[in-house]
Structure 1
Amino acid sequence: MAPFDLETTSPNPEEARIVEAYHGYVGGGSDPVDRPPLLVDPGVEVPAEATAIHGYTTEHLREHGMPAEEAIPRIAGAVIAAWNEGIPLVAHNARFDLTVLDRELVRYGQPPLIKWAAGEYGPVIDTLVLSKRLDRWRRRVSPDQGAHALKTCAQVFGIPWRDEDAHGARYDALIAARIAWRMGAIAHMPAEQRPRIQSGRQDERHLFDELATDLPTLFASQRRWAAEQAASYQEWLRSPKAGEKRNADAVISGAWPVEPASAQETQQTAQGAVA
């Protein structure tokens, strides 16, 4: 597997700039490849709320980060190298990270990620999509910790977690890989030996069967599940059950693993780089 994670300036992938990236290799019977995370000078001010999450200030990144126009193609090249070998990229909420990378490529005058990938994205294992598939009704742990947050998934699947190390690209990427490995290990157990992780009343350990398959099938399944999850969330947002969050006109995209950009958005992103 190729663990992958980005730290950015914003939770909005259309405007987020990369400040740190990690890409490595684990498993498969080979020695792990554990590169140092790549620090990136995003060329813009880092908002205080982003610094509060990952710890990187504008000044630190200007001094220690690689200029974004050099770093972004290097990050994309690492992703494509894994895909060319048929190695799955592993990330928690891969749609965010890969969409950010796609927008950054265009922002700096590079072809979009789909062209780097020769028209077809390579295999991806998204532990967020898988978690929602395996335990749809899991509740939030607390107001600050979501039902399918990386920390929650680590706790559910018995992966040690250290708050002080979280929100670093290397740490988060490797935790996602460990969660993915644990999911796969459970999927290959006899059904009656699998732990019951689901929060619902029914025994849904059979859902792990869907993970015990080849990479192309799993990749296609995640595309379908991501679309179904988005449609379900959209339906909830439009319903009275959403309470104060209700939005009768809510539209949630089900695109995965990259949110496509409209022609206008692509043009605006490119213009932003010039500005």
Structure 2
Amino acid sequence: MIWHRRPLCGLDLETSGTNPERDCIVTAAVVRYGGGQPTAARTWVAVPEFEIPADATAVHGWTTEEATAQGQPAPLVVAEVIDALVAAVDGGHPVVVMNAPFDLTLIDRAARRFGVVPLADRVTPYVLDPRVLDKQVDRYRKGHRRLEDLCRHYCVSLDGPAHDSKVDAVAACDVTWRIANRHRWMQRKTLAELHAAQEKWAYQQNASFRDYLARTPGRELEALDVRLDWPMVPAAKAAVLEEHRGAGPLAAMHAAGEIDSAEYHYCTRERSTRAHAVTADGGRKCWGCGMETAGNQ
């Protein structure tokens, strides 16, 4: 049976912010969708690890007080969400995640903070990301591609308010199913083939956007936050991401006086803005590729 006729497993997290390396889960949902079966869902509210900022509350509606009063301990929530995903993967279901590198990276880092075995250390899921799929099949369509935008484009009705974990998880599955139903060649691919293809497509899509930002005056530093990894940023790359945000080895070397400064410059080899160590004579060494530029040039 082709994959889009079998159940899909949807995951959605609502969080305290937009940094998957540091922010925490507020609510989570894992749903079973399609395959001729009724939609089923498990939902969680987590006691936040820290104060939920007002701008995050404005998105999903949860305050620190409400989440604390209604939530379960965050380590338990993380463990149960991962258990639910493992069960789905063991059952042969792909995991549908809108903007997968955010949710999957965030829950990976949360698991590592709490001493929970991360999802990636237990199973290797086939992931379907409607954001990547939509960009691939309709590259030049103008406008935003947030989940609510994709729902409008593919005529998916939200069964409740946007930014509710269960509503968004179901909607992501519905959008993914409709993309595959409209583009039948996707149905003929195995989940392994489609996962591998998305790795390539996501890299190309994000690299193109990163390079656009790096070339655009006034937006160069935004390129630092564009992630090329899909479906998750490996934990080993966290140090490089921290470096980009001024919290890594170059910043520490600067503070210790080992280098004169740590600055951001456009790297011609990597075609992106990267952190550089700068010496007193103006020489630079790219933290990304290691290329050195002599001083006074």
TM-score by length of 1: 0.79
Residue matched to 1:233: 209
1:86–1:123 Cα contact (<8 Å) kept = no
Partner residue, 2:20 = 13
- From 237, 247, 258, the equivalent of 2:232 is 258
Q: What secondary structure, in the 3-state scheme, does the structure 1 residue paired with 2:218 have?
A: helix
Letter in 2 for 1:115: D
Q: 1:154 aligns with which of 126, 151, 156?
A: 151
Within a 5 Å distance, the mapping from 1:191-210 to structure 2 comes to 209-210=185-186
> Are 1:128 and 2:131 counterparts?
yes
Pairing 1:27-66 to 2, within 5 Å after superposition = 27-35=34-42, 37-66=43-72
The residue type equivalent to 1:228 in the other structure is Q
Identity of aligned residues (%): 33
SS at match of 2:33: coil
Check whether the contact 1:43–1:68 (CA below 8 A) recurs between aligned residues: yes
Which of 152, 175, 180 is 2:176 aligned to? Answer: 180
1:200 is matched with which residue? Answer: none
Alignment correspondent of 1:271:
none
User: 1:92-131 counterparts in 2 under 5 A?
Assistant: 92-117=98-123, 121-131=124-134
Structure 1: gaps (5+ residues) = 141-146, 189-208, 269-275
| RMSD of aligned Cα (Å) | 2.2
Q: Cα–Cα, structure 1 residues 248 and 75, in superposed 2: closer, same or farther, change >3 Å?
A: closer
The SS at the match of 1:15 is coil
Tell me by how many angstroms 1:210 deviates.
4.3
Task: Assess, with a 3 A threshold, how the Cα gap between structure 1 residues 161 and 233 changes in structure 2: closer, same or farther.
Answer: same
Q: Distance in 1 between matches of 2:24 and 2:104?
A: 12
8 Å Cα contact 1:237-1:250 kept in structure 2: no
The answer (yes or no) to whether the contact 1:187–1:212 under 8 Å persists in 2 is no
Report the number of matched residues.
234
- Structure 2: give runs of 5+ residues left out of the alignment: 1-7, 243-297
TM-score, normalized by length of structure 2? 0.73
Deviation (angstroms), 1:161: 4.2
Which letter maps to 2:153? V
Shift of 1:86: 1.5
1:113-135 alpha-carbon deviations (Å, 9 max, x no partner): 32122xxx211110011111112
Mean CA deviation greater in 228-237 or 243-252: 243-252
In the alignment, structure 1 residue 70 sits paired with structure 2 residue 66: no
Q: Which has the higher contact order (CA 8 A, sep 6+)?
A: 1
* Deviation sequence 1:180-199 (CA, Å, 0-9, x none): 111111123xxxxxxxxxxx
> Equivalents in 1 of 2:225, 2:107: separation in Å?
23
Which residue of 4, 8, 11 corresponds with 1:4? 11
